[in-house]
Amino acid sequence: SQQGEEDPQALSIQEGENATMNCSYKTSINNLQWYRQNSGRGLVHLILIRSNEREKHSGRLRVTLDTSKKSSSLLITASRAADTASYFCATLSYNTDKLIFGTGTRLQVFP
């Protein structure tokens, strides 16, 4: 089953610009995570935000979580061509170890 819907589905920006991706989910969660996937490769864990947290930073990444709206956003600041990849949110619900992925956003950063 798929939990999250992400938008936009695709995003194209120039280097140096900021990229914002949004994720909405349906049920109560323990935490929400963001992953990155380069084409044809495995996933890289970027950041985890717990249900009692509202914002988290890691380098050029900023994640927000609004549990009342069941939504999260990932902001990549000062983007680089190397940030080109697909980005997925994934939710972990209480009483389960299953990580359910959103639909993903394909980000392309032009040099």
Partner 1 sequence: GAVVSQHPSWVICKSGTSVKIECRSLDFQATTMFWYRQFPKQSLMLMATSNEGSKATYEQGVEKDKFLINHASLTLSTLTVTSAHPEDSSFYICSAQRGGSGTGELFFGEGSRLTVL
The span of 14-22, 61-69, 76-84, 91-99 binding partner 1 (CB under 8 A) equals 91-99
Helix (H/G/I), strand (E/B), else coil: 14: strand
Q: How far apart are CA 91 and CA 70, in angstroms?
A: 11
Q: Please give the C-alpha separations between residue 36 and each of 44, 74, 80, 84, 95, in angstroms, as whole numbers.
A: 5, 11, 14, 9, 25
Given 7, 13, 43, 62, the residue binding partner 1 (CB under 8 A): 43
- Residue of the chain from 55, 82, 98, 110 that contacts partner 1 (CB under 8 A): 98
Write out the residues near partner 1 by the rule CB under 8 A.
1-2, 30-31, 33, 35, 40-45, 48, 88, 92, 97-104, 106
